[in-house]
Structure 1
């Protein structure tokens, strides 16, 4: 991370002459630039470790999660959620996944959607599940498109708009998602 940029960013936070919209814009810009850089550094370190025959270490994932790399935060969150090589802690998992989601990692949205749909460590909340699934679905993530379509079908609190469900299912199928292809075929909804 460029510490000079960090100092400038921290100084802008103290400014009394900035509107809330300007502050939000500068914050989003700073984190977008630095999250991309941190993700690149994290992936580079993972590849370097793998190239010399080392297993991916929890310490490396944790280090980059704390530094703010959304890719590491997703990995760390999933490890905490499932108790993979680390103590299982659903609340901490959700914390890390939300940080990754706020860092623009679409995979975090897919996992958070499943957490809220199934009430894992939280009260089941279909509206939150839909909201978390919609973001990566709109970004073109095939698994998210498929999951979002299914959640729309299963959401008893609102009427089902079949055209929207089918459009997301078709998008997932066009992106090669096997379950979406099967869904469309099983329901005679095209030549997926």
Structure 2
């Protein structure tokens, strides 16, 4: 088995970032930001949960983070997964990565590498570097998907182009086990790749790229 590096922490990229501009009846984006970044977590929870209930994907993701970290509310694994799934189904790439990591680790759900790969693919197709790296690992080792070194190298190249040093190292390690023709094919696939961004997708912030 090729020893490649994956992003193993479930909530590696589940850092609270600015909530979206979706309207709310009682709260505004600025209020939620102010509460959270001034460590007023009780108020932040009320604000974010209100916007999450109205269907705002970023707030749903943020609410999963609060339940995971126990900020403004008691830690709750089930509610973490619930809100993470809600955000992921609403095309939030960080949430899709988180759901993939949950299924890979068996965190709050039954471990299923096939489902993990499906969610990593959704996030990877939106340009999520950590998901691309983990998906590359799964293709490289045949975990949840059929082993395919060309596909693995493609995803490592894409993640590396976003600044991931782990993906860059993985590409180097994997290339040692591939023919010149296979490497050329993988590089051509990476060069022609374009992100698949759903209409209501959340734009990735710079902080989503982990080195």
Stretch of structure 1 that moved more, 105-114 or 39-48: 39-48
Report the counterpart of residue 88 of structure 1 in structure 2: 75
TM-score of the superposition, structure 2-length normalised?
Answer: 0.63
Q: How many residues align?
A: 155
The answer to which structure, 1 or 2, has the higher relative contact order (CA under 8 A, 6+ apart) is: 2
Identify the match of residue 133 of structure 2 among 130, 143, 146. Answer: 146
Return the alpha-carbon distance in structure 2 between the equivalents of residues 62 and 129 of structure 1.
26
Alignment pair present for 1:38 and 2:25: no
- Stretches of structure 1 lacking an aligned partner (at least 5 in a row): 1-34
Identify the match of residue 184 of structure 1 among 154, 164, 171. Answer: 171
RMSD of equivalent CA atoms: 2.9
Deviation per residue, 1:71-126 (Å, 9 max, x gap): 11111112223434422222211111111011111111100001000001111001
Deviation per residue, 1:127-167 (Å, 9 max, x gap): 11011110110111111111211233344464311100100
**Does structure 2 conserve the Cα–Cα contact (< 8 Å) formed by 1:130 and 1:152?**
no
Report the counterpart of residue 104 of structure 1 in structure 2: 91
Report the counterpart of residue 171 of structure 1 in structure 2: 158
Return the alpha-carbon distance in structure 1 between the equivalents of residues 28 and 164 of structure 2.
28
- Stretches of structure 2 lacking an aligned partner (at least 5 in a row): 1-18, 177-182, 184-211
Offset of residue 186 of structure 1: 4.1
Question: Aligned with 1:38: secondary structure?
Answer: coil
**Does structure 2 conserve the Cα–Cα contact (< 8 Å) formed by 1:42 and 1:72?**
no
Return the alpha-carbon distance in structure 1 between the equivalents of residues 161 and 169 of structure 2.
12
- Larger helix proportion, structure 1 or 2? 1
Give the greater-gyration-radius structure (CA): 1
- Matches of residues 42-53 of structure 1 in structure 2 within 5 Å? 43-47=29-33
Return the alpha-carbon distance in structure 2 between the equivalents of residues 141 and 42 of structure 1.
27
Question: Aligned with 1:169: secondary structure?
Answer: helix
Return the alpha-carbon distance in structure 1 between the equivalents of residues 135 and 145 of structure 2.
14
